[in-house]
Amino acid sequence: MTFMEAVLDGLRLVLVWPAPGYMLLGVAIGMFFGAVPGLGGLVGMAIILPFTFGMEPNVAFAFILGMYAVTTTADTLSSVLLGIPGTAASQATILDGYPMAQRGEASRALGAAYTVSMIGGVLGAVFLAASIPLVRPIILSFSEPEFFALAVLGLTMVASLSGKSIFKGTAAACFGLMLATIGFAEFGGVRRFWFGHNFLLEGLPIVPYVLGMFAIPEVLELAVRNTSISRVQRQEVETGGILAGMKDAAKHWWLGLRCTVIGVYIGMLPGLGGSIVDWVAYGHAAQSEKNNENFGKGDVRGVIAPEAANNAMKGGALLPTIAFAIPGSASMAILLSAFLIQGLEPGPQMLTEKLNITFTLVWTLVIANVAGAVILLLWGSQASKITYLQGHIIVPGIMLVVFMGAWVGNGTLGNWIVLLVFGFIGYFMKLGGWPRPPIVLGFVLGKIMEEALNIAMQTHGTGSFTRPIVLIIMVLVIVTIISAVRKQRKKSKLIPIVQAKETGAAPMVSEEGGKDCPPASWPVSVVLLGIFVYCFIEATAWSFSPRIFPHTVAIAGFILAGGALIFDLKGMAAMRAGTAGPDVVGIDGAYFRKSMYYLSWMVGIFVLTLIIGQFPTLILFIGLYLKFWGNFGWKVILGYMVGATIFLLVMFNEIVPVLWYEPAHLPSFFT
């Protein structure tokens, strides 16, 4: 079979019924799993995998890849509308997408995101097809030293791009790396930082951790201030909605194309690409685009770059999976299981006699991306209306999804403890102007970096850091740091001028980690210093392999957190002397007290669950919140509670079944 015959036969297999029907069903499922924080493509693929038994290969792959293709398109909804990453691939989108929603431009952000997601997904599949015979030597030239260096580059980019202090950004990244060492060490089998709780031996659960860091602080803001997500009224926004976003995507087509290429080729790096691709694309945009001073404050280019890259990444991740049986991402590992179910063996045969099946996968990605983006473009204007709703009406619904999203997985109360602990941490970091995305990325990359460092040291020794590709990447790291420092100094000089021009304008939205609040920041610096000291001392008794990574991170983190503390103390002194700049703020006492009251409600959910059970507690929380925080009438309260009950029973009893927590002394709610 010639190359062109394989292309056409692959298209025929995708279009032969029932493959199109299953693809559209997969697209619908994927949009749901992408939009709900805590689920994502990995959970969706795991759930639908058993249903592919007995299907023809073209039908099975149409179903599973149809679902997989659109999760990083649908996850934009929660990233833009709520400031919560729907999946790990949408973290960078928050930096500009959520500020746009706060300015009343949510539909514009969604229009731009969906347009470039569609184009990025299609071009990603095209680049995949064109790259099949070319990239094998490139992929095989990367080994552990290169993976470690590339992860350092990704961390440096996110740490330097989110927030105004590179000390805070890099210290936060080190904190995330340290969190990744919790549990059994892969090298040496040592139990690290588990504090006597068995559920931590498998590592910190990522979903409750991410939801705690991002969701609870943002929802707290809505509850305490009782504001809508948008800080301006709907009639004040004249952006043209979805259509304006599509025009933005067309205007910045060259940026979208560059980030698509970045997405494809970063996505090809097994196990690593999907973790950093959106940050690499965002960093490229922030450093290469002119007039970039608004990045992080609601610049549409900050939405276009990561959204083009994270959809294109899926085509790239598919290549090492089908060609070398090396999963390009965690979701691709599940796809390998689908290959086994279908009796197919990934490898050279997928590029020769089974080339038509390979192009079935490529065509499925193309068609599913187009279908998903078109549906979301048509629906995006309706979804953006949530940003104008009163805060008290949407908070209970969001918290219901947050608590259940944290529960899905191993279904233990430990997940809720993690959610609440990191909810407090996320709140205080946001209050103090500490960027949160570096912590999450550090956690995601931590295990990859530790494994790469250990293997690199065992196989190459100190020569690991003198390999040509490693040296090139480290030069890029240095350039990134220098560029970030220069950019932040330039920005700090411009702040008084910009603020003077904005007098009387619509309320501006501060960027992630962009404000400077020394009274709230210095305690975070001190706590991080204490954590790094404790981790260093605790790791001293371990053998070399499990000790080297936490020791290295602890030393770097201590130095960086110390630098952040010095700047905090200088800021405090300037505030006392009355010489602080206009961008330095203090703590709003009334807001802080009400925030603590709201967080006590979150703790109350946990305590009441221990007494009466999980299901009735969540329903009761909705009723009490609407009554005491929102002062709504009983019709609204009862209607909301009935809707929540139906949602919980259908979603978490039928679609994604969970084991509900029931106190031992009470009969089960479901028996």
Of 214, 200, 216, 151, nearest to 177 by C-alpha is 151
Residue 203 confidence (pLDDT) above 50:
yes
pLDDT tens by residue, 231-284: 555 544 445 577 888 888 888 888 888 888 888 777 776 555 566 777 788 878
Residue 496 confidence (pLDDT) above 50:
no
What would the mean pLDDT of 640-660 be, rounded to a whole number? 86
Highest mean pLDDT: which range of 52-61, 88-97, 641-650 = 641-650
- pLDDT category of residue 507 using cuts at 50, 70 and 90: very low
- pLDDT category of residue 44 using cuts at 50, 70 and 90: low
What would the mean pLDDT of 223-230 be, rounded to a whole number? 71
DSSP assigned state of 510: P
Rounded Cα distance, 166 and 434, in Å? 10
> What Cα–Cα distance (Å) separates residue 337 from each residue in 22, 29, 61?
19, 19, 11
Written as one letter, the residue type at 291 is: N
pLDDT tens by residue, 138-196: 655 667 787 788 778 777 766 665 567 788 888 998 999 999 899 888 777 788 888 88
> What Cα–Cα distance (Å) separates residue 191 from each residue in 203, 418, 452?
10, 19, 20
Residue 669 confidence (pLDDT) above 50:
no
Higher-confidence position of 124 and 589: 589
- pLDDT category of residue 406 using cuts at 50, 70 and 90: confident
Q: Flag the least confident range among 288-302, 315-329, 520-534.
A: 315-329
Percentage of residues in the chain having pLDDT higher than 90: 15
Residue that is written with structure tokens 């707290």 in the block? 220
- pLDDT category of residue 43 using cuts at 50, 70 and 90: low
What would the mean pLDDT of 348-376 be, rounded to a whole number? 75
From the CB of residue 25, how many other CB atoms can be counted at a distance below 10 Å?
Answer: 17
What would the mean pLDDT of 627-638 be, rounded to a whole number? 90
Residue 121 confidence (pLDDT) above 50:
yes
pLDDT at residue 17, as a whole number: 84
pLDDT tens by residue, 88-101: 566 777 778 878 87
What would the mean pLDDT of 22-28 be, rounded to a whole number? 83
Q: Which helix (H) or strand (E) covers residue 183, if one does?
A: strand 183-184
What would the mean pLDDT of 483-505 be, rounded to a whole number? 50
Q: Flag the least confident range among 6-10, 234-238, 325-329.
A: 234-238
DSSP string of 469-482, one letter each residue: HHHHHHHHHHHHHH
Q: Flag the least confident range among 50-54, 196-200, 445-449, 594-598.
A: 50-54
Highest mean pLDDT: which range of 581-585, 586-590, 630-634 = 630-634
Residue 471 φ then ψ, to 5°: -60, -40
Rounded Cα distance, 519 and 619, in Å? 38
pLDDT at residue 610, as a whole number: 92
Prediction pTM value: 0.71
Residue 37 confidence (pLDDT) above 60:
no
Residue 516 φ then ψ, to 5°: -125, 110
- pLDDT category of residue 416 using cuts at 50, 70 and 90: very high
